[in-house]
Amino acid sequence: MERRIYFIAGDFISNGIMGMTTALLATRIVDQTWEMFPAMLAGMGIGMGFSMILMPIFVGLFGAMEVMLPVMLTAMLTGMVFAMADTMLGLTVINIMLGGVLTGILVLLLTYAANLILRSKNL
Amino acid sequence: MDESTKRKWDFSSSFYDLLAYGPERRWAPCKRDLFTNMNGKVLFVAIGTGQDIPFFPPGKDIVGIDISPRMLTKAKIRAAEYDGSLDLKVMDIHAMESSDHSFDQVVTSCTFCSVPNPVAGLSALRRVLKLGGMLYMFEHTGSSVFPFNLMLNIMTPIWKPIGPEMNRDTVANVEKAGFEILQVNNVYLDVVKTITARSPA
């Protein structure tokens, strides 16, 4: 398990920023005129595409797979959830930004938990 | 020589160190630990720009190979700092000039995500490795766990033109090449791992 502050902070910063920016981007593209299901798919695609642009910066600074996997998962999930939610609820910018950051952190914590489990399964 | 692979890594050499700053520092403790096993005449495969050289234990006898001359040009600067014997050669793993059973150990580091034909490449390593010789690998592989396997499958076609494949089953490939797996240690999820294997005597 990673214990160095630089990399732990990097994980939180990467996922927080990715979650926030993806949520903002997805809700700028998708609006309340969209049906829920196409909005969800579009949000996921937006997240995936956007993560490819932002990810090299985080990878270069904080690590490869340890950054790529949670960040891409954050982007896809955030894009999907917030695009879908925006079609129904019409979220405020503050709610979108906060929700994006929290989703990123939640994904990261779940990835940490998965890492603990999988690392214990050595041959 | 596989010219398309050579061109790909020659091209990547211009930005490789920039992208490797974070990963190399993150993986440094684990790589240092793995490389303490180096003993005898060691073949280090795909040494790249030499990012791993500072993690080598001092006083070893190492031959580092890479398919990309431009990568090796950068590696030479780091190799000059190494306190031991480190000989760098441009070589394609699929067409290695080394004679049979000429190395005591083979060490790889993020290599078999990129070798075009991994089983053939590993078989070539078995040929140059002494009978009973050890293979130490630090590799990233595909995952067997959802959603990580999905992510890696999506990323592979995007990254492949300029870098590695993300979804390979390297442990299975090592076995297919005839090595005896001694240990697989997950470093991150079931994706980044160290593999210790032996060429059967």
Check whether A27 has a pLDDT greater than 70: yes
A67 touches chain B (CB under 8 A): yes
User: Cβ A69–B145 below 8 Å, yes or no?
Assistant: no
The ipTM value here is: 0.90
Query: Which of A13, A59, A118, A101 lies closest to B148, judged by CA?
Result: A118
CB B137 within 8 A of CB B174: yes
**Residue A89: its pLDDT value, please?**
84
Provide the chain A residues 14-33 that lie in CB contact (below 8 A) with chain B: none
Q: Across the interface, do A119 and B188 touch by the CB < 8 Å criterion?
A: yes
Q: Which pLDDT value is given to residue B158?
A: 87
Look at residues B135, B115, B116 and name the one whose alpha carbon lies nearest to residue B125: B135
Q: Can you give the pLDDT at residue A123? A: 53
CA distance B120 to chain A (A): 24
Looking at the whole model, is its pTM more than 0.90? yes
Phi-psi region of B101 (alpha: psi -120 to 50; beta: other; left: phi over 0): left
Judged by CB atoms closer than 8 Å, whether chains meet at A118 and B155 is answered as no
A50 touches chain B (CB under 8 A): no
Per-residue pLDDT of chain B (201 residues; tens, 9 = 90+): 688 889 989 999 999 999 999 999 999 999 999 999 999 999 999 999 999 999 999 999 999 999 999 999 999 999 999 999 999 999 999 999 889 999 999 999 999 999 999 999 999 999 999 999 999 999 999 999 999 999 999 989 988 887 789 999 999 999 999 999 999 999 999 999 999 999 998
Kindly identify which residue of chain A lies nearest to residue B197, measuring between CA atoms: A123
Asked if B139 contacts B193 with a C-beta cutoff of 8 angstroms, the reply is yes
Q: How many CB atoms lie within 10 A of CB A62?
A: 25
Instruction: Work out the pLDDT band at A68, boundaries 50, 70, 90.
Output: very high
Tokens 């034909």 belong to residue: B117
Are residues B141 and B171 in contact, defined by beta-carbon separation less than 8 angstroms? yes
Whether chain B has a CB inside 8 Å of the CB on A94: the answer is: no
What pairs with residue B184 in β-bridges?
Answer: B195
Q: How many CB atoms are located within 10 Å of the residue B127 CB?
A: 15
pLDDT tens digits along B142-179: 999 999 999 999 989 988 887 789 999 999 999 999 99
Q: Residue B2 to residues B7, B60, B69, B111, B170: CA-CA distances in angstroms?
A: 9, 30, 13, 15, 21
- What the block records as the tokens of B66 is 């890479």
Of A122, A123, A113, A112, the residue nearest A11 (C-alpha): A112
Per CB-CB distance under 8 Å, the chain B contacts of A66 are 26, 188, 192
Q: Nearest Cβ partner of B188 from A56, A115, A122?
A: A115
The backbone torsions φ and ψ at residue B198, rounded to the nearest 5 degrees and listed phi first, read -130, 140
State the Cα–Cα distance between residues A81 and A54, nearest whole angstrom.
19
As beta bridge partners, residue B109 has B138
Q: What is the 3-state composition of chain B as percent helix, strand, coil, each rounded to the nearest 5? A: 40, 25, 35
Domains of chain B: 3-198 (3.40.50.150)
Q: Is the pLDDT of residue A90 over 80?
A: no
Distance from CA of B188 to the nearest CA of A (A): 6
Q: What does DSSP say about strands B85-90 and B129-140: parallel, antiparallel, or unpaired?
A: unpaired
Amino acid A122: pLDDT: 67
Beta B129-140 vs B192-198: how paired, if at all?
Answer: antiparallel
Alpha helices in chain B (DSSP H): 3-12, 16-35, 69-79, 118-128, 148-159, 170-176
Chain A residues whose CB is inside 8 A of the B21 CB are: 60-61
Query: Does the beta carbon of A3 lie under 8 angstroms from any beta carbon of chain B?
Result: no
* Closest-approach residue (CA) in chain A for B189: A115
For residue A91, the tally of other CB atoms under 10 A from its CB is 16
Residue A31 pLDDT grade (very low, low, confident, very high; cuts 50, 70, 90): confident
- Give A104 to chain B, closest Cα distance, Å: 15
Residue B106 is encoded by which pair of tokens?
């083979």
